[in-house]
Amino acid sequence: MMKKLEICLLCLCLFLLCGCRRYDRIESTSPAPVIVSRDSDEASSDTEEDTTEETTAQEETTMMEITTQEETEPPLPERVPVKVKGVYLTAYVAGTTSMFDEIISHIDETEVNAVVIDVKNDEGRVTFAMDSPIVNEVGSVQKLMDIDSVMAKLKEHNIYTIARIVAFRDPYLPEQRPEWGLQLADGSLYRDNKGLAWVNPYKREVWDYLVEVAVEARKAGFDEVQFDYIRFSTEKGINNVVYDEADTQGMSKTEIITEFVEYVYEKCLQEGVFMAADVFGAIIGGGIDSDNVGQSYGNMAASLDYICPMIYPSHYADGNFGIEHPDTQPYDTILAALQGSKADLRGYARNGEHQAVVRPWLQDFTASYLKNYINYGPEQIRAQIQAVYDAGYDEWMLWSAACKYHWDGLRSPEEGEAEMRELEAKWAAQAQTMAAEETLPAETEEAADSSGQAGEE
Residue 408 placed within a domain: yes
DSSP track, 259-270? HHHHHHHHHHHH
Using DSSP's 3-state secondary structure scheme, residue 220 falls into helix
**Residues 228/166, Cβ–Cβ less than 8 Å:** yes
**Residues 382/330, Cβ–Cβ less than 8 Å:** no
Instruction: Report the relative pairing of strands 160-166 and 85-89 from DSSP bridges.
Output: unpaired
Greatest alpha-carbon pair distance for the chain in Å reads 144
Give the span between the Cα atoms of 14 and 68, in whole angstroms. Answer: 66
**Residues 170/199, Cβ–Cβ less than 8 Å:** yes
Q: What is the percent of the chain with per-residue pLDDT over 90, rounded to a whole number?
A: 73
Query: How far does CA 158 lie from the centroid of its chain?
Result: 25
Burial class (CB in 10 A: 0-12, 13-18, 19+), 328: middle
Separation in Å, CA 231 to CA 348, 355, 421: 21, 20, 37
| Closest by CA position to 337, among listed 302, 362, 354 | 362
- Residue 456's pLDDT band (cuts 50, 70, 90): very low
**Residues 239/232, Cβ–Cβ less than 8 Å:** no
Instruction: Say what the pLDDT of residue 286 is.
Output: 84
Give the span between the Cα atoms of 312 and 65, in whole angstroms. Answer: 55
Residue 423 placed within a domain: no
Q: Between 139 and 29, whose confidence is greater? A: 139
Instruction: Say what the pLDDT of residue 89 is.
Output: 98
**Residues 84/277, Cβ–Cβ less than 8 Å:** no
Q: Is the pLDDT of residue 134 over 80?
A: yes
Instruction: Say what the pLDDT of residue 431 is.
Output: 87
Q: Which long-range contacts (CB under 8 A, 24 or more apart) does 62-68 make?
A: none
Give the span between the Cα atoms of 93 and 144, in whole angstroms. Answer: 9
Instruction: For helices 147-156 and 97-109, give the axis angle rounded to 10 degrees.
Output: 20
The type of residue at 229 is: Y
**Nearby residues of 203 by Cβ (< 8 Å), 6 or more positions away:** 179, 180, 247
Residue 3 placed within a domain: no
Residue 446 placed within a domain: no
Range of the domain at 353: 85-412
Instruction: Say what the pLDDT of residue 62 is.
Output: 53
Give the span between the Cα atoms of 348 and 407, in whole angstroms. Answer: 37
The type of residue at 382 is: R
Instruction: Say what the pLDDT of residue 437 is.
Output: 82
Query: How far does CA 194 lie from the centroid of its chain?
Result: 30
**Residues 189/183, Cβ–Cβ less than 8 Å:** yes
Instruction: Say what the pLDDT of residue 13 is.
Output: 39
Q: Give the pLDDT confidence of 52-63 residue by residue, as tens digits.
A: 455 455 555 555
Q: In the chain, count of helices (H) and strands (E)?
A: 15, 11
**Residues 295/257, Cβ–Cβ less than 8 Å:** yes
Number of domains comprising the chain: 1
- Residue 410: how many other CB atoms lie within 10 Å: 23
Burial class (CB in 10 A: 0-12, 13-18, 19+), 93: buried
Q: Give the pLDDT confidence of 329-361 residue by residue, as tens digits.
A: 999 999 999 999 999 999 898 767 899 999 999
Residue 197 placed within a domain: yes
**Nearby residues of 111 by Cβ (< 8 Å), 6 or more positions away:** 85, 410, 411, 412, 413, 415, 416, 417, 419
Separation in Å, CA 111 to CA 95, 106, 331, 354: 23, 9, 20, 28
Residue 80 placed within a domain: no
Give the CATH number for residue 162: 3.20.20.80
Instruction: Say what the pLDDT of residue 161 is.
Output: 98
Separation in Å, CA 446 to CA 434, 451, 452: 19, 9, 10
Residue 252 placed within a domain: yes
Per DSSP, helices labelled H in 221-305 are: 245-248, 253-271, 288-293, 297-301
Over residues 204-230, the mean pLDDT reads: 98
